[in-house]
Amino acid sequence: MFKRCLASAVVAASVATLAWAAADTGWRDVLDTPALKSPLAQRTLVNGLARSGERLVAVGQRGHVLLSDDQGKSWRQAEVPVSSDLVAVTFPSADQGWAVGHDGIVLRSTDAGATWTRVLDGRQAGALMVDYYQREAANAGDAARAAALLKEAERFAAQGAENPFLDVAFENAKTGYLVGAFGLILRTTDGGASWQPLLHATENPKALHLYAVRSVGGETYIAGEQGLLLKLDRGTGQFRALELPYKGTLFGVIGNDRAVLVHGLRGTVLRSADAGRSWQAVNTGLQVGLTASSIDAQGRIVIVSQAGHALLSRDDGASFALAKTDKPAPAAAVVIVGPSSLVVGGPRGVSPLTLQ
């Protein structure tokens, strides 16, 4: 339940991070404080993992970004301009990477994760949204709808850097999405040079938290609270809600051209072989939160839990077997690195894991 706790406790976490940054030298905004180098960084909370070519990149607490070029056996820290807690990371290509997290931070790397620059933060995102919906309101045919969207944008702006981004995904080098707490969602179509809010294009009337965004089988999905699963309708540009046989929180989306799966609380895995038109529950034998997932070039899918379980599928997610591991640990992120090996990140840091 790491991601769920992250969103619901965002204020408390931000206060704790600010307190750390203020130690000894007076108050400093974490958005203006570079991440400190620490020999213990790989043992602190890691929330996200991704591949950058053959390199592994992990992101986590206090702006830590860790790099491994030996399949997770050893790690070193990257240069990061902020100390905000980072939640998710992705690499659309071997060199181009994106990381997001608390305080509305969005970072970009162009050198396989070695260094990072700030693209956006929560102090800018609210103003961006207000500006966008003010312009839309001036040309809107539906004045009431336009006013409601502008009011929501003003609410985000008034909260400043309070709201985190919880995931990031790119369909290609140019088009990407940021999703986060209370329905926060932005899109770029120019490789991050500019961002547009999509509150108007998302069927999320309750402003539920959005935990994961992924492109699977040529389609883009967003998973969130209360069984919310959205799919991009490319004809209209709208994210439409799909009907699921489960109304609990979903933490992840994974799959390939043959099937898409979502996973979440209470050991839940749902699978669709028809691009989200129908869904079937997959038995996992677990009743704990399934927090992260990974798929490799051979089509094997691994889903890990908050309690340290690892589920393995070799049939496109139609069935899963509980894998024995050498040192199970609570997981918030996972990457498959070999036929019988994973790298897992979580509250105990990041480490390799062998499937037995």
Confidence bin at 15 (pLDDT 50/70/90): very low
Q: Are 338 and 326 in contact (CB under 8 A)?
A: no
- Model pLDDT for residues 144-167, shown as the tens digit of each residue: 888 999 999 999 999 999 999 999
Q: Which of these ranges, 75-84, 138-147, 347-356, has the smallest mean pLDDT?
A: 138-147
Mean pLDDT of 287-310: 97
> Would you say residue 9 has pLDDT above 90?
no
| Cβ count within 10 A of residue 117 | 12
Separation of alpha carbons 291 and 322, rounded Å: 15
- What are all long-range contacts of 116-119, with beta carbons under 8 Å and residues at least 24 apart? 116/65, 116/78, 116/79, 116/80, 116/81, 117/81, 118/31, 118/81, 118/82, 119/192
Extents of the domains making up the chain: 2-25+46-259
Place of tokens 């609570």: 330
Continuous H helices in the chain: 2-8, 10-22, 122-138, 143-158
DSSP 3-state assignment of 104?
helix
Please report the pLDDT score of residue 26 as a whole number: 64
pTM for this predicted structure = 0.92
Confidence bin at 129 (pLDDT 50/70/90): very high
Give the domain 2-25+46-259 fold. Methylamine Dehydrogenase; Chain H (2.130.10)
What does the CA dihedral 56, 60, 66, 67 come to, rounded to 10 degrees? Answer: 10
Please report the pLDDT score of residue 115 as a whole number: 98
Separation of alpha carbons 93 and 332, rounded Å: 23
Which residue did the predictor score with more confidence, 4 or 291? 291
Partners of residue 232 on adjacent β-strands: 239
Mean pLDDT of 3-14: 42
HEC states along 39-82?
A: CCHHHCCEEEEEEECCEEEEEEHHHCEEEECCCCCCCEECECCC
